[in-house]
Structure 1
Amino acid sequence: MNIRIELTYKTPKGTETIFSSDIMRAEKAILIAEDLEKNGRAKNLMFVDGHETTWSMKDLKKYMKGIETEPHNATVYFDGGFDLGTKRSGLGCVIYYEQNGKSFRLRKNALVGELNTNNEAEYAAFYLGLQELELLGVHHLPVTFIGDSQVVINQLLGEWPCVEDELNRWADRIEVKLEQLGITPEYNTVSRKKNREADQLATQALKEIEITSTMELGHEQ
């Protein structure tokens, strides 16, 4: 979960001002807040999440402890490719997540034949990532989705119009699944180079190379 710290700071002579930090991971915010509290000059310290909900130190620590054994801090990279010659699509997704104090990477791809455009393949790859999150048991948590498709990202953000019926249906399906899982999405667009893992998975799917793997980072499973 990404949050910011807000507090009132008081100097030894009694001058006060209000500070608001940059947005950061909750784990980092807790460490910084604990250090600030040591000098005794930070007052009214609270944490604010992306929904502008405020958390006390006690409540945030309790929440973080509660999700420790579940997959959390998930980031999904997705990519889809469409082969005009064969009318087939390759889908790829890579999910980074944490669980029980360890970090993992999940890779999954799929070959499908019922799509008609590259944009549909990109949406389908996004949905593949959602299905994998559901299988992992990720729910009622923020998740970051990263792809190189400006069409998908900007349409899901509502910044670009979605006039094609097929893409509208994909967007609706994604919104329904996000709501079912209680996932709060954050969207980021990157270059294809920075989306290399998901792009490679999509390409391998088109070559009928099936990939399904989970690795603890630093230790292959």
Structure 2
Amino acid sequence: MKLRIEWTYKTPKGNEAVFLSDEMPAAQALLLVEDMERTGRVKTVAFHDRFDSTWTVKELRNYLKGIETEPHNVEVYFDGGFDKATKQAGLGCVIYYEQNGKMYRLRQNAAVDDLLSNNEAEYASFFLSLQELEVLGVHDLPVRFIGDSKVVINGLGGEWPVMEKELSRWADRIEEKMSKSGIQPEYELVSRKRNAEADRLATQALNGIDITGTMELEK
């Protein structure tokens, strides 16, 4: 979760000014505020998330302590590929997350039959990532979904209407699953180059190469 810090600074002579920081990870925001409070010149402080919710220092400290042992700071890359000749789709997702002070990367792909288009494969790869998040036990957290499909990112983000029946069905399934798990989605559209890892997994699935596994990363 990323937050902005809003604080009122008070000088020894009683002059005050209100400041608003850039967005930053929640843990970093808390450390900065704890450091600022030691100066004795912070009159008021609050944190604001992307969902227009406001957090106190105590609330944020309790939140971070509560999620420490669970997967958090989750980022998901997804991609789908489709072979028109065989009507087969390849799905790929890469999930980065933190847990118990360590960072991990999960990779998963799958080959799927009976899809109708590349756009449907993109939606299916997004759904695959939700299934993996469910296995990880991710719930009631903001999750950042990153992909190169304008149709999926803009469709799920509410920027574009989802008109095609098969895509609308996927969108409904996705939104229902996120609602049940309490996932608060954030969407980011990136270039194919930045989504290369998920794209490679989808291509490997199309070529009959199964990839699955989780590894610890260096921070």
The residue that corresponds to 2:41 in the other structure is: 41
Deviations 1:116-148 (A, max 9, x none): 100000000000000000000000000000000
C-alpha deviation, 1:35, in angstroms: 1.4
Unmatched tracts of structure 2, length 5 or more: none
For the residues of structure 1 that align with 2:158 and 2:85, how far apart are their CA atoms? 32
Once structures 1 and 2 are overlaid, which stretch shifts more, 47-56 or 153-162?
Answer: 47-56
The residue that corresponds to 2:85 in the other structure is: 85
C-alpha deviation, 1:52, in angstroms: 2.1
C-alpha deviation, 1:53, in angstroms: 2.0
Are residues 1:58 and 2:58 paired?
yes
For the residues of structure 1 that align with 2:60 and 2:206, how far apart are their CA atoms? 44
C-alpha deviation, 1:161, in angstroms: 1.7
C-alpha deviation, 1:50, in angstroms: 2.1
For the residues of structure 2 that align with 1:185 and 1:133, how far apart are their CA atoms? 12
The residue that corresponds to 1:210 in the other structure is: 210
| TM-score calculated relative to the size of structure 2 | 0.97
For the residues of structure 1 that align with 2:15 and 2:218, how far apart are their CA atoms? 49
The residue that corresponds to 2:12 in the other structure is: 12
Deviations 1:163-201 (A, max 9, x none): 111111111111001101100000001100100100000
| TM-score calculated relative to the size of structure 1 | 0.97
C-alpha deviation, 1:218, in angstroms: 4.0
Deviations 1:32-65 (A, max 9, x none): 1111112111111111222222222122111101
Deviations 1:186-221 (A, max 9, x none): 0001100100100000000000100011000149xx
Aligned length: 219
Are residues 1:159 and 2:159 paired?
yes
For the residues of structure 1 that align with 2:92 and 2:188, how far apart are their CA atoms? 17
Residues 5-154 of structure 1 mapped to structure 2, 5 A cutoff? 5-154=5-154
Once structures 1 and 2 are overlaid, which stretch shifts more, 13-22 or 184-193?
Answer: 13-22
Give SS of 1:193's match: coil
Once structures 1 and 2 are overlaid, which stretch shifts more, 169-178 or 7-16?
Answer: 7-16
Give SS of 2:210's match: coil
For the residues of structure 2 that align with 1:138 and 1:16, how far apart are their CA atoms? 42
Deviations 1:6-45 (A, max 9, x none): 1111122211111111111101101111111121111111
Alignment-mate amino acid for residue 217 of structure 1: L
Unmatched tracts of structure 1, length 5 or more: none
Change (3 A) 1:156 1:59: same
